Amino acid sequence: MVALWWRLSSGPIELDIATPWLTAAIKENFGPGHEVEIGGTQIERDANKRRTSLRIRDIVVRDADGSIVASAPKAEVGISGAGLLAGRIRAERLSLVGAEMAVRIESDSKVTIFAGSNKRPFVTASAMLPPVVPAQASPPAKVERAAAAASAAPVTPPAPAAGAGSTARNGVPDLAALLTWIESLDAGSLDGRDLTEIGLQDGNLTVDDQRNGKQWTFTDIDLSVTRPKGGGIAIALGSQAVERPWRMRAAMTPGQHGHRIIDIEMQKVSTKDAMLAMRWGDDQYEIDLPLTGRIRADIGPDGIPHMLDGRMAVEKGVVVDLDDPLVRVPIDRAEISLDWDRTRQALMMPFQVVSGGSRITLLAQFNAPRDSSGVWGLEVSGGSLMLASAPADPNALMLNRVLLKLRINPNKQRIDLEPSELGNTDLGLALSGSLDFSSEDPRLTLGVASTRMSVAAMKRIWPVTVASKVRAWVLDHVQAGTVERLDVSTNAPWSTLKSSGPPIPDDGLLIQIIGHGAEIRPVEGLPAIRDADVNVQISGRTAAINVGRGNVEISPGRKLSITSGVFEVPDTFPKGPPAKVRFRLDGSVPAAAELLGMPRLREYSGAPIEPATSRGTLTAQVTLAMPLKEDLTPGSSLYTINMDVANFAAERMVMGQKVEAALLKVSANNLGHWIRGDVKINGVPSALDYRKPRDGDADIRFQATLDENGRSKFGFDLGSSLTGPVPIKLSGRVPANEGESRFAIEADLTQAKVDNLLPGWLKAPGRAGRATFTLINKPAGTRFEDLVIEASGAAVKGVVEVDSAGDVVSANFPLFALSDGDKATLRAERGADGALRMTLRGDVYDGRGFIKSTLTGAGSNKQKPDKDIDVDVKLGTVLGFNGETLRGLDLRVSRRSGVLTSLALNAKLGRDAPLIGEVRARGNNGRQFVVLETNDAGAFFRFNDIYTKVVGGEMWIALDPQSADLAPQEGILDVRGFIVRGEAALERVAAGPQQPGGSSPGVEFSHLRVDFTRSLGRFTIRDGLLKGPAIGGTVDGHIDYHRDEIRMRGTFVPLYGLNNMFGQLPIVGPFLGGSNEGLLGVTYEVVGPPSTPVLRVNPISAVAPGLLRKFFEFPGGNAPMQSYAEPGRY
């Protein structure tokens, strides 16, 4: 034997020779129908534990079907030293090493144990008996005895178990019966022989409780059940897991005179796991608190403690309501001491709980029943409550007057809270109530009333479990104030007070809080409501906060007043319940604009009003809807604002224009805002309907009558091209950022005068006309799409695009008819060189408007710098005045830097007389002139409505090209071989013969030469000379197309050839008529509109020869010319 002990001290001894014997022995213990396989055996000495162990490897147990019912990689068997010395191998300790164990508690409380990863159960225990120890930890004989007991009494449970169950229902367990049952598990040893310890080392245990659907897992578990030789039982359970090691030990040993000594010790035991294992609680709260401590007790035979003391410490953890995350109580540490006073039959429990800056230090005293009523008493007092919102809260609330009295009646299953109080010198709370748990659903009745306190104090004493959602909102959003009264009354089933329970009835909970001077911030990121009168009403599931009045300070000097405010939660039961807020707001427009411009609302309001550039007063009704939850994200709040704004003004509000209104209606919500009313936009009276969605462009509808001033303010200054009032209707969209805006515009042109708004388009006021188009405004320019003009025979359709400077980039008019019967198209496009190229094509075109505009010039149009332009015109027929036409017109004109550089004109005029125009150079300096030539001067004059009574004649006109500075143009008109027909006065002067009843042959002229100056809308004629065989004459004066008048004068010289001879004489010639007149002559004048001039002669002048006629001349027609700033037209 000495040699054996020496060998074990040097290392394990392989004992494979004993493997068959151990296999047979274990198989015999399992009983028939089981096969046991063992991989190997060895004996070793555990130096740390000073004991000898027999270890077997790779244990597998199969049932009769060959299925594995138990397996373990290793098992450790402790050998009895005395038996070994006696030559017998006896197991006194058996531990499975690294085994996987699973325990399933069925819905009928039957316990099924699985060993390893096997699907077959290893051991099944009835709910009526104490659980049977697994076979690996107990010999089969033990299992057989338990099974036999179960079959012998399948219906009637053992008396101790029944008794224990009965008393447990009453809330006071029969401790003596429970301890007797534990002690009766076995007497002597665990197998009736030498086995004193069974266990599990480094194993994993999974518990699946089918009764409540919960499952939890213990890893790296060490389990040991020991039955000392001297009696009693000891259980050790723990884990050496690195992330969270823990250990628990419990021992019960017999004492003198039937007493039992109990010793329980815990180190960092998880409260959550312990409560799950013992099925304490209702799964509503998760209590994750590590427990460390020790409790010792001496229990007499009657179950009454003779001694009980201990101390428990709770380390950092948290208590969470799993159904309501808002109910969360962090615990930093807690301590509780236990001391049983046998004389007073009372358990004294001083305790302290620390959570952040809050600290509870109190004394609880349990008083045992003193008579047969079985009523226990609990009194909590003798300490203080420090309630704080943060660890370093300087305004922590100290309650040092604490007295809570409870009566616990297990027989009636009722707990009564006798009149109790909490408070200090400044505030007080009175409490009373009861908890009746005699029914399946206990009922709580509670009343709380307070004295005056601050809002900060109310927030600290508000229990986290009472109306938690409303409480969380109040904690975050009610920041200051005074509570005048606080009343709480509850009378409801306990289940309705739980977050996961059914809804609380309307009369089950009533909370009323009345306060003043409150500061409330309804939405994070917005200013607070200050100096508010508050009335809080919570009735059942409904909560409402009424604000009588209050002020919102947006910024220094800008305030809004709030009245009739209501914050309402219709149903606090669901998670994240919806809340509603409504109130009336009064104040200034700048304050409201600043509010809407705050980051919280700016993204959704898109407010176009700047606080610094707006004025007015408003009255608004505001409603908000939002979920009642933490971390309210942007966009989860819905708001609606309806405002009446008086004396309103805001710069750059609509299309960059100032808006003014005596009364304006404004609506706003998360989707955008809506402004409507009669307004002045940049001083122009208008009807406005402006809608701005949250994510998109603004829609605008606008009606106004724009005169020249109004059009100028809106950037549509067309000068004299369009004068008079123009009613317009505009609808379209304005981009939220820089982008494309689109407007549909309809303009009534009836009362307006149009003067070459389009080349050649003239319209008098009062004649019907309208224009419609779509205006597309882009950063790079403006586009007029779907342009349609209908006015007094004019019909134009097309598209125009201009750049940011207002210059035409392109134009396309597939229909360009400025008069009835026109058939023409017009295109324009600016080339890469900057020149605008215009092309006019058509069969018929009424050119009268163009002619008139060319002769009259641009009137008072505002001058714009001339651009380079190329014009290409090809028309079949051009209608002129007096029935004349141009046929086969081919015209090409080029202008650069405002100067005409080229001209090519070809057409047929009158009786197929050619009309030619071009630019020619003349003289040594190469000076250029515009030259027009035709063989039918009369047709030319009639076509242009200059003079209708000329017939025939070869004509040429030489004219300076128009310069960029619009200087007057000098020119010469020369006509040869023409007749003036139909001028009676002229014919009388000429005394030409006339056939009776026949038409007048007219007055024939051989030559006409006139020097003239063309300025804007005016022709000035000077040194004009007429020569003919029968009559000659002189002429000077002017034609003013702006004033629509002709004023010319001169002298007719009869028998011009003979009469003029006297004027040619030296020295006396000027006195006898001059070089261009004669000795005898008749003065005349031509006056009236250009279309119908009147020729008047002075017969008396015929008797005044030579120089004397000057006294009988008509007044001069060449008064100083006016200066016109507008450019002429070609």
Render pLDDT for 234-256 as a digit per residue (tens, 0 to 9). Answer: 888 888 777 788 888 989 888 88
In 3D space, the residue among 782, 705, 704, 715 whose CA is nearest the CA of residue 743 turns out to be 782
Is it the case that residue 138 has pLDDT exceeding 60?
no
Q: State how far the Cα of 1041 lies from the Cα of 697, in Å rounded to an integer.
A: 49
Q: Name the pLDDT band for 634 (thresholds 50, 70, 90).
A: low
- Angle among Cα 563, 565, 568 to the nearest 5 degrees reads 175
Does residue 964 carry a pLDDT above 50? yes
Q: What is the pLDDT of residue 64?
A: 76
pLDDT band, residue 718 (cuts 50/70/90): confident
Q: 325: closest CA among 472, 200, 528?
A: 472
Instruction: Report the DSSP pairing between strands 197-209 and 100-105.
Output: parallel
Residue type, 215: Q
Q: Phi and psi dihedrals of 451, rounded to 5?
A: -90, -175
Q: Where does the pLDDT of residue 691 fall: very low under 50, low under 70, confident under 90, or very high at 90 and above?
A: confident
The position carrying tokens 């307070």 is 450
Angstrom CA distances, 502 to 435, 464, 496, 572, 830, stand at 18, 19, 5, 12, 78
Question: How many C-alpha atoms does 787 have within 13 Å on its Cβ side?
Answer: 19
Task: Quote the tokens at residue 866.
Answer: 């001339």
Q: How confident is the model at residue 733 (pLDDT cuts 50, 70, 90)?
A: confident
Q: Assign 675 a pLDDT band (cuts: 50, 70, 90).
A: confident
Name which of 358, 362, 352, 356 is nearest 396 in CA terms: 358
CA distance 239 to 260: 28
- CA distance readout (Å), 182 to 122, 186, 258: 23, 9, 15
Share of the chain above pLDDT 70, in %: 78
Going by C-alpha positions, the residue among 589, 597, 690 that lies closest to residue 648 is 589
Q: At 144, is the secondary structure helix, strand, or coil?
A: helix
- Looking at per-residue confidence, does 275 or 133 come out higher? 275
Q: Which residues pair with 104 in a beta bridge?
A: 112, 208
DSSP string, 677-692: EEEEETTEEEEEEEEE
Helix (H, G, I), strand (E, B) or coil at 1094: strand
pLDDT band at 185 (very low <50, low <70, confident <90, very high): very low
- Contacting residues for 745 by C-beta, under 8 A, at least 6 apart: 728, 729, 730, 732, 771, 772, 773, 774, 775
User: Among 509, 431, 433, 425, which Cα is nearest to 465's?
Assistant: 509
3-state SS, residue 233: strand
pLDDT value at 688 more than 60 = yes
Residues near 296 by beta carbon (within 8 Å), at least 6 away in sequence: 261, 262, 263, 264, 307, 308, 309, 310
Calculate the dihedral angle through the C-alpha atoms of 228, 231, 237, 238, rounding to the nearest 10 degrees. -50
Between residues 241 and 319, the one the model is more confident about = 319
Q: Tell me, what's the pLDDT at 430?
A: 93
Residue type, 417: L
Sorted by sequence, the CB contacts under 8 Å of residue 346 that are 6+ apart come out as 340, 365, 366, 367, 368
Three-state secondary-structure class, residue 156: coil
> Average pLDDT in the 928-952 region?
91
* Angle, helices 175-183/159-169, rounded to nearest 10 degrees: 150
Q: What percent of the chain has pLDDT over 90?
A: 20
More confident: 192 or 866:
866
Angle, CA 888 vertex, CA 883 and CA 894 arms, to 5°: 110
Helix 140-152 / helix 19-30 crossing angle, nearest 10 deg: 0
What local confidence, expressed as pLDDT, does residue 1071 receive? 41
Question: Strands across the sheet with 722-723, in order?
Answer: 722-723, 753-755, 762-763
Judged against a pLDDT cut of 90, whether residue 336 lies above it is answered with: yes
Residue 128 has pLDDT above 50, yes or no: no
- Contact call for residues 920 and 892 (beta carbons, < 8 A): no
Phi then psi for residue 322, to 5 deg, are -65, -25
Q: What letter does residue 601 receive in the DSSP assignment?
A: H
Phi-psi region of 66 (alpha: psi -120 to 50; beta: other; left: phi over 0): left
Per-residue pLDDT, averaged over 72-100, amounts to: 68
Cα–Cα distance measured from residue 3 to residue 10, given in angstroms and rounded to the nearest whole number: 11
641 forms bridges with which residues in the sheet? 622, 668
CA 921/CA 912 separation, integer angstroms: 28
Question: Using a CB cutoff of 8 Å and minimum separation of 24, what contacts does 879-882 make?
Answer: 879/819, 879/844, 879/845, 879/846, 879/847, 879/848, 880/847, 880/848, 880/851, 880/942, 880/943, 880/944, 880/945, 881/848, 881/851, 881/942, 881/943, 881/944, 881/945, 881/1091, 882/942, 882/943, 882/945, 882/948
Is pTM beyond 0.75? Reply is no
According to the model, what pLDDT value does residue 405 have? 94
The label of the residue with tokens 């616990």 reads 408
Answer with the residue of higher pLDDT: 505 or 139.
505
- What is the band of 133 on the pLDDT scale with cuts at 50, 70, 90? very low
Residue 1070 zone, left/alpha/beta (φ > 0; ψ -120 to 50; rest): alpha
Q: Rounded distance, CA 641 to CA 649, Å?
A: 19
Buried b (16+ CB within 10 A) or exposed e, 919-948: beeeeeeeebbbbbbbbbbbbbbbbbbbbb
Lowest mean pLDDT among 41-55, 335-349, 407-421, 888-902: 41-55
User: pLDDT at residue 12 above 50?
Assistant: yes
Residue-averaged pLDDT of the chain: 78
Q: What is the pLDDT of residue 824?
A: 93
In the prediction, which pLDDT does 923 show?
63
**Which of 172 and 1000 is assigned the larger pLDDT?**
1000
Residue 139, pLDDT score: 40
Q: What is the pLDDT of residues 451-466, one digit of tens each?
A: 999 888 888 888 777 7
**What tokens does 780 get?**
């790079």
- Mean predicted confidence (pLDDT) in 1013-1019: 85
Could you report the per-residue pLDDT of 559-571, keeping only the tens digit for each?
A: 889 898 888 888 8
Question: How far, CA to CA in Å, does 946 sit from each of 735, 937, 940, 1019, 1044?
Answer: 53, 11, 8, 11, 12
Q: What is the C-alpha separation between 192 and 143, in angstroms, rounded?
A: 12
Q: Are 741 and 774 in contact (CB under 8 A)?
A: no
For the ranges 535-544, 584-593, 713-722, the lowest mean pLDDT is seen at 713-722
Q: Which of 347, 310, 354, 308 is nearest to 331 (CA)?
A: 354
Residue 207's H or E segment, with its range, is strand 197-209
Residue 934: beta bridge partners? 915, 955
Q: What is the pLDDT of residue 309?
A: 92
Highest-scoring range by mean pLDDT, 145-149, 764-768, 825-829, 1112-1116: 825-829
The token duo for 201 is 């080392």
CA–centroid distance for 54 within its chain: 74
Which 8-state DSSP code applies to residue 472? H
Strand, coil or helix: 804: coil
Query: Which residue has better confidence, 1088 or 188?
Result: 1088
**Mean pLDDT along residues 1001-1026:** 88
Reported as a pLDDT band with limits 50, 70 and 90, residue 166 is: very low
For residues 183-202, average pLDDT: 59
- Check residue 46 and give its pLDDT: 62
pLDDT at 117: 59
Look at residue 377 and tell me whether its pLDDT is greater than 80: yes
How would residue 1075 be classed by pLDDT, with cut points 50, 70 and 90? low
Which residue would you say has higher pLDDT here, 275 or 640?
Answer: 640
Least confident of 83-97, 915-929, 1082-1096: 83-97
With vertex at residue 107, the alpha carbon angle to CA 103 and CA 113, rounded to the nearest 5 degrees, is 20
| Cβ-based burial of 506 (10 A; exposed 0-12, middle 13-18, buried ≥19) | exposed
Residues 596-608 pLDDT 10s: 777 766 665 555 6
Two tokens at 468?
């938690």
- Residue-wise pLDDT tens digits, 749-776: 999 888 877 777 888 898 898 999 998 8
Which range has the worst mean pLDDT, 515-529, 565-579, 599-613, 979-993? Answer: 599-613
Neighbours of 517 (CB within 10 A): 15
> How far is residue 399 from each of residues 263, 359, 383, 449, measured CA to CA in Å?
37, 10, 9, 15
Look at residue 734 in the predicted model and tell me its pLDDT.
Answer: 80
How far apart are alpha carbons 527 and 540 in whole angstroms?
Answer: 31
DSSP 110: -
Q: What are phi and psi of 633, to 5 degrees?
A: -80, 150
Q: Is the pLDDT score of 1111 beyond 60? A: no
CA angle 556-559-564, nearest 5°?
155
